[in-house]
């Protein structure tokens, strides 16, 4: 394992942004920047040893600042949607930023994806830690929230993402990583022929605004049944209720691309997985390859709590109180065969 390298990656409002470069002994390289904790690049070999960058993104910081697909970013305080941009905590109603119609999405108009994080290489050179303090009232959330997210690349081809947070007032927290993957290489076309398996017997049906209807429904006999490997094939933006949730890390998903034989495995301690098939990509964004990102040009496997949990007492709670530590871990493992 080589030591993490760091280099300049532009500036926002006069504040310098740095890029950290992690590499392992198997030819995998991960790059992440202090703006949004964004993963800008993941380079992996295929079955023939040909390397490609398998996440969507931009060559320069300006692309991330100007666009809103959340490419590669840390999402918070609350990943996914909160209905009507409000929730109650200890008898007090809190009004959040409404940035998705009347709803709150991915932390609001200026979520964690738009913040500059404090960053430092981890001891041993295998990773980077990003720290951010979210002020009481930011985007409508109560409490000062202190967040640390660590990325660590191992020689077992794992990218380990650890989330921790503490608060001085009871609040809601739900963090995730929003990389868009294309295992054939970013800019190479759509991902509809990628094959996907998700270890979920149930999912959350949603209304036209993507807010859960309330029921938790079986996937059997529906287009949401990914319990055995099948092609993505269409548009998805739904939360899957992962099997065997106890807070322990377990394997929950596997994606593969038939031409390159690249694979991506996901393990997590989270209860849910938002599978998004890049439905809103429309060919207007030009990526690192110089090619446009069209519909379904990448897919996201966002490990998280369920959408609108603050307003759904029947869902696993996302409340964090003073003295408690929010802790979640997701492991992305990259592979290839041939």
Q: Which residues are catalytic?
A: 178, 302
**149: number of Cβ within 10 Å:** 24
32/331 Cα distance (integer angstroms): 16
Element (H, E) at 62: helix 61-66
Q: Confirm if 171 and 309 have CB atoms less than 8 A apart.
A: no
Q: Confirm if 202 and 217 have CB atoms less than 8 A apart.
A: yes
Question: From residue 36, how far is each of 5, 114, 119, 145, 163 by CA, in Å?
Answer: 18, 5, 11, 16, 14
**264: number of Cβ within 10 Å:** 24
Q: What are phi and psi of 3, to 5 degrees?
A: -70, 150
Burial zone of 323 (CB within 10 Å; 0-12 exposed, 13-18 middle, 19+ buried): exposed
**120: number of Cβ within 10 Å:** 15
137/98 Cα distance (integer angstroms): 14
308 φ/ψ sector (left φ>0, alpha ψ -120 to 50, else beta) = left
Q: How many residues are recorded in the chain?
A: 338
> What is the residue-wise DSSP string for 179-217?
PPB-TT-TTS---TT-EEEE--SEE--B-TTS-B-S--E
Q: What are phi and psi of 116, to 5 degrees?
A: -95, 120
């Amino acid at each position: 394992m080589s030591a993490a390298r760091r280099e300049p990656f532009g500036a926002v409002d006069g504040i310098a942004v740095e890029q950290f470069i992690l590499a392992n002994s198997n030819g995998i390289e991960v790059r992440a920047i202090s703006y949004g904790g964004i993963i800008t690049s993941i380079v992996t070999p295929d079955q023939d040893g040909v390397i490609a960058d398998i996440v969507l993104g931009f060559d320069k910081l300006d692309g991330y600042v100007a666009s809103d697909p959340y490419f590669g970013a840390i999402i918070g305080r609350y990943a996914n949607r909160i209905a009507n941009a409000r929730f109650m905590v200890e008898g007090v109603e809190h009004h959040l930023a409404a940035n998705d119609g009347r709803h709150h999405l991915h932390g609001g108009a200026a979520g964690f994806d738009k913040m500059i994080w404090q960053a430092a290489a981890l001891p041993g050179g295998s990773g980077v830690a990003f720290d951010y303090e979210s002020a009481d009232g930011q985007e409508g959330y109560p409490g000062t929230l202190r967040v640390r997210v660590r990325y660590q690349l191992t020689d077992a081809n794992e990218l380990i993402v650890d989330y921790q947070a503490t608060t001085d007032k009871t609040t809601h927290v739900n963090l995730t990583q929003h990389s868009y993957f294309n295992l054939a290489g970013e800019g190479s076309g759509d991902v509809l022929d990628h094959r996907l398996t998700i270890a979920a017997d149930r999912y959350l049906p949603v209304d036209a605004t993507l807010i859960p209807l309330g029921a938790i429904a079986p996937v059997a006999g529906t287009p949401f049944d990914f319990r055995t490997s099948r092609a993505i094939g269409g548009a998805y933006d739904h939360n899957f209720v992962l099997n065997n949730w106890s807070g322990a890390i377990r394997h929950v998903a596997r994606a593969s691309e038939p031409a390159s034989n690249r694979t991506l495995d996901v393990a997590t301690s989270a209860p849910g997985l938002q599978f998004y098939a890049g439905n809103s990509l429309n060919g207007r964004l030009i990526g690192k390859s110089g090619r446009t990102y069209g519909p379904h040009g990448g897919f996201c496997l966002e490990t998280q709590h369920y959408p609108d949990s603050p307003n759904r007492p029947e869902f696993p709670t996302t409340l964090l109180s003073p003295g408690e530590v929010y802790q979640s871990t997701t492991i992305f493992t990259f592979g290839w065969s041939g």
